[in-house]
Each structure stands twice: as C-alpha cells, then as structure tokens.
C-alpha cells in the first residue's frame, strides 16, 4: 500500500497505524501541479485543509481508493469527483470540538476586551500605569451571542457563553431568512460555525454586515470565504462594527491588507484545533480510516 500525506503530521500516527505501508509526506505550500506529479502510484491520500484534492489530482491518481481528510471540513476536496470515481472520503469530527470552541471564545474575549491592544501597549514600553479610561472594552455579561451554525462546535461555544452570563441566539440551516435577520439585528457578538458550502460562501457581505447591530463584533473560526473581507474592512472603517476576531481568511494564507494594521481586529493563523492532543487525535483518526479501508472494514466517518 502506498500513501501520500500532504503535510507532516504529529506522531505517533503514520508509522504506528499504517505500519508496513510506503508513505511519502509532502511539504507545506505544495501546489496542485506538484501534487499531481506525486500521486500517480498511490493507493490513498491523507489530505490536509490547505491542499486541494481536485478532479485533476484524482485523474492523476487512478489507484486511489480513499482520501482521508485531517479536518472536519471537506471544502478542499472535490466530493463529486470522488463519488464519480468511487473514492471514499472521510473526515475527523468530534475530537476538535472543544479546542475550537475554546479558541472561538478566546477570540471573543480578546476582541471585546482589547487584549491585542493592551499587550502591544505594554510591550511598547510606553505604558505609564493604570488609568480609568484606558482601553475600555465591553463586558459579556448580559450581552447576546449570536451563533451562526449550532452544530458540535457552535453548541460548545454556546455552553461557554452561558457561563459568562450571555444570552444565546442560534441560527441553523433549516431556519428561514427572518431568523437570520434577527441574528444580525440582535447579536452583540456574532460567531460563525458553519461549513463552507455554495450557500454559505460570501454569506457575510456588504449587505449583511451593514444590517448587523451597530457596535457589534464578528468572530470567524469556521472558513474564511464565508466572510467578504473587503466588506468587513468597510464595516469596521465606517464604525458599524466595533471589532473582529478571525482565525481563518478568505484567501488563506493571504489576509486583506485593510485588516492587518487595524488594532480592533485580532488575527490568528488557523489555530482552532491547534493543541498537541487534538492534532494528534486528528492525525490518528485519519490514519485509522485508511487502515480500516485496507482491512476491508467500513469507514467510521465517511462523508462521500
């Protein structure tokens, strides 16, 4: 069995669960053309979110039987092309729920309490001591946390919000447009927890951000293209939004230049699941899906 892994993963995972397989591990930043040149003889691909598994890649990999994605989202994989070729696709749900919810709430706290600005002030060496009006933020108690997407992660964020004395307002895919409009109108902080689909791509653009509650905050730890970054910059510049916390970006790893210098925006490099324990669990889960397939067993987390 030959396996191509698109980026290095935490160990013990590959050598432990895929013992005896011939494994090639790619490097970060590999492009589609480079990937095509490396998968012609492989039986499985263990993919990671930055690397697209396109129809072209699959056409160049006629022996591939499974694409095991080391992530919950599968927007980096052409699922239709996999179905057409009979290629199994799996993901890694569950294990990253709490860590991602922790990070989402960390961003909520960071942007509402202006932690980024406060740390920068202390590090600058210009801080002259406590002042009654310095870097006043916003308390969470009594505020409304709007959650766009109440699946595993959104529900975990909701539990944290209740502990902080917030009121939670959720919107799920089945809700009508009226509830989405209420989400925009009532949320003091709006946090995004939906997968990237044709319906959610660009869901928060000029019109939607312009209808958000004045002075509110937007947090995104889901997928970058759900938010139009140019529109977000405009909403921040106009004062409609008071701040934003982003762990993902529209054209990742590129970030809209209008966001980079803003003190009211907290930017993180896609760290939602980035704990030692969680990333190892994700790697092992993806490896186990490949091992199960080649043992003739059904996948535990099949998405296509």
Chain-centroid distance, C-alpha 95: 14
To the query of whether residue 270 is one of the catalytic residues in this protein, the response is yes
3-state SS track over 85-151:
HCCEEECCCCCCHHHHHHHHHHHHHHHHCCHHHHHHHHHHCCCCCCCCCCCCCCCCCCCEEEEECCC
* 262 in Cβ contact with 116 (< 8 Å): no
To the query of whether residue 252 is one of the catalytic residues in this protein, the response is yes
Catalytic residue among 32, 113, 252, 262: 252
To the query of whether residue 279 is one of the catalytic residues in this protein, the response is no
Instruction: In whole angstroms, give the CA distance from residue 105 to residue 209.
Output: 21
Catalytic residue among 116, 223, 279, 284: 223
Catalytic residue among 114, 116, 193, 270: 270
* 70 in Cβ contact with 274 (< 8 Å): no
What are the residue numbers of the active site?
A: 223, 252, 270
């Amino acid at each position: 069995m030959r396996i191509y892994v698109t980026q290095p993963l935490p160990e013990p995972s590959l050598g432990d669960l895929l013992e005896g397989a011939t494994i090639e591990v790619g490097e970060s930043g590999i492009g589609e053309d480079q990937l095509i040149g490396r998968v012609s003889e492989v039986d499985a691909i263990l993919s990671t979110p930055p690397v697209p598994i396109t129809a072209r890649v699959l056409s160049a990999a006629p022996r591939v039987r499974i694409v095991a994605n080391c992530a919950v989202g599968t927007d980096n994989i052409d699922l239709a092309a996999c179905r057409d070729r009979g290629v199994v696709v799996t993901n890694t749900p569950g294990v990253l729920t709490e860590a991602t919810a922790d990070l989402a709430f960390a961003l909520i706290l960071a942007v509402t309490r202006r932690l980024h600005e406060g740390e920068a002030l202390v590090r600058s060496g210009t801080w002259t001591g406590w002042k009654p009006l310095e870097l006043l933020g916003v308390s969470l108690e009594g505020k409304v946390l709007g959650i766009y997407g109440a699946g595993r992660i959104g529900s975990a964020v909701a539990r944290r919000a209740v502990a902080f004395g917030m009121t939670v307002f959720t919107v799920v895919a089945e809700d009508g447009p009226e509830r989405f409009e209420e989400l925009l109108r009532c949320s003091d902080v709006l946090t995004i927890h939906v997968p990237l689909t044709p319906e959610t791509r660009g869901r928060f653009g000029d019109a939607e951000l312009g209808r958000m509650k004045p002075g509110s905050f937007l947090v995104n730890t889901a997928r970058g293209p759900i938010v139009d970054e140019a529109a977000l910059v405009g909403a921040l510049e106009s004062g409609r939004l008071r701040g934003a916390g982003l762990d993902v970006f529209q054209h990742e790893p590129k970030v809209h230049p209008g966001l980079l210098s803003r003190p009211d925006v907290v930017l993180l490099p896609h760290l939602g699941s980035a704990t030692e324990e969680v990333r190892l669990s994700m790697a092992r889960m993806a490896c186990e899906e490949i091992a199960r397939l080649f043992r003739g067993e059904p996948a535990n987390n099949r998405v296509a």
